[in-house]
Amino acid sequence: MLRLGRREFGPNEPVIMAIVNRTPDSFYDQGATFRDEPALARVEQAVAEGAAIIDIGGVKAGPGEEVGAEEEARRIVGFVAEVRRRFPDVVISVDTWRASVGEAACEAGADLLNDAWGGVDPGLAEVAARYRVGLVCTHAGGAEPRTRPHRVTYDDVMADILRVTLGLAERAVALGVPRESVLIDPGHDFGKNTRHSLEATRRLGEMVETGWPVLVSLSNKDFVGETLDRPLKERVIGTLATTAVSAWLGAQVYRVHEVAETRQVLDMVASIAGHRPPAVARRGLA
């Protein structure tokens, strides 16, 4: 059982985490939700379309203008509080690697800290433990935040993913983070080239077999674009294909831009796997 905030999710229940970027330079939506009103509209739409988690980030993942901890907190903390007020049952995640920002977000009502940079600030897990919130433990290949990989190599990329994420997860639990609120993430594109990300997807079942719930952040990423040779705005089909494969292999949480489309993919895979009945079953029964 995965427990986040007020919600519980069964082992065969796929969960959508909708991305809401409070940045003026986000790579995909180009700052569409930087201002409060469109950001709140995005939350409302995502929840209506089936997202159980809203992931709020205040710093672009890639290189760009420097954003200090104070500015990052200014962008997200008040927004977290407003989302908490308007949507009391939604799980609020904050995408940050900084302990100080994570603490301010937890004070405002966050339920989950999404550490996409692999524990670069070890204090973030301590914050999660202190506030008894969830934590995403991600493999980033030792990369510094907001850097791109350059000629990175692994003897065995999945072995390294397992070593890092399981170590982070066990440390989090030892600190006091509830075991049922810890997730592991292979970190597609983070500290990896396209072949690494494809292999991580192909071998995702090895992560699932550990028993920790697996989160994947696939949405419109560079490994999809390079695999299909498609620009940023033409990666949705590749993303959904990768989502279907990940769902079949047992990933549970999906961090996405396109909520409605992802919901259909996950429901279809769950029905094929026998975990979900068809919404309608009239054919051949009349």
233 is catalytic: no
Record the tokens describing residue 12, joined without a space.
């065969």
Sequence-distant (≥ 6) Cβ neighbours of residue 133 within 8 angstroms: 5, 106, 110, 111, 112, 113, 177, 181
* Catalytic hit among 255, 276, 282, 283: 255
- Please name which of 91, 131, 99, 92 lies closest in space to residue 115, comparing C-alpha atoms: 99
Q: Of 105, 114, 109, 112, which Cα lies nearest the Cα of 133?
A: 112
Choose, from 35, 221, 230, 283, the residue flagged as catalytic.
221
CA distance linking residue 81 with residue 221, whole number of Å: 29
- Look up residue 155 and give its two tokens: 């003897």
The DSSP 8-state label assigned to residue 125 in this structure reads H
CA geometry: angle 17, 178, 216, nearest 5 deg: 30
C-alpha span between 221 and 194 (Å, rounded)? 10
- Residue 3 falls in the annotated catalytic set: no
Which amino acid does the sequence have at 63? P
Question: Catalytic positions, please?
Answer: 221, 255
